[in-house]
Amino acid sequence: MIEKKEGQQMEERILRIITLGIISWTTAFHLFRKFLPKRSFEFCNRLVSTVHATVAFTLASLSVEDWTCPVCPLASRPSHSQMQTLAVSLSYLIYDLICCQFDKRVTIDNTIHHLVSIVGIGAGLAYGKISFAVVFSFARMVFGPYLTWVTLTADNPLVIKAMAVGLQLVSAYWFFKIARMMNYKLTKRTASKNLVYTEKL
């Protein structure tokens, strides 16, 4: 009963963070537009992106429980601080998806990127690490290389192309970490079933 109540409180807290986050990112964008009237829509949105990247990096760093092994313990559920960090990023992605629809250039690959990321983080918050791992892996290792290729072959500045490659490399690194975690969990589950079966015999 206590665990159920704590779970409901956490869900309400996450929803508040997401709602407040969307309002905050939108407000920040409008403030940038107001105080930087000569700057473009895209420039102001990139400023919001920079703020989000700084906040997300800080929160993610603070949520690491053991820096000697940041992904330990393997196959564990996310902590409250980690879930709150995901909620902040989810609120930003929802804001950015909506904001990008009002830009002069609306691209289908950018929209897909946002939708997949939103579904992935949402699944991570709702169902825990396993579903998040599956959605993340599919999104980053199937859609990711395609989006990277589109970015590299398009007429983009060198820094944008470098960032696309860098993000894909980071995705590949985390895919390796997730694959290792999944292998550990499945191996542990199989070993547990075999032990139970042996004891019955």
Taking only the tens place, the pLDDT of each residue in 93-146 is: 999 989 988 877 767 767 777 777 787 777 767 765 555 555 566 666 666 777
Compute, in degrees rounded to 10, the torsion defined by CA atoms 161, 164, 169, 173. 170
Closest CA to 98 of 120, 84, 118: 118
Query: Cα 123 to chain center, whole Å?
Result: 10
Residue 124 in any domain: the answer is: no
As a whole-number percent, the residues of the chain with pLDDT over 90 amount to 18
Residue 111 in any domain: the answer is: no
Query: Cα 164 to chain center, whole Å?
Result: 16
pLDDT value for 173: 73
- Tell whether 7 and 102 lie within a shared domain: yes
Residue 144 in any domain: the answer is: yes
Asked which of 20-34, 142-156, 174-188 is least confident by mean pLDDT, the reply is 174-188
Residue 1 in any domain: the answer is: yes
What residues contact 111, with CB distance under 8 A and at least 6 apart? 97, 100, 101
Domain count, the chain: 2
pLDDT value for 34: 93
Residue 152 in any domain: the answer is: yes
- Tell whether 101 and 3 lie within a shared domain: yes
- Tell whether 180 and 134 lie within a shared domain: yes
Closest CA to 111 of 133, 142, 143, 136: 143
- 36 pLDDT above the threshold of 90: yes
Pull the structure tokens for residue 117. Answer: 């990321």
Residues 129 and 140: beta-carbon distance below 8 Å: no
Taking only the tens place, the pLDDT of each residue in 44-86 is: 998 999 999 899 888 888 887 776 766 566 556 677 888 888 8
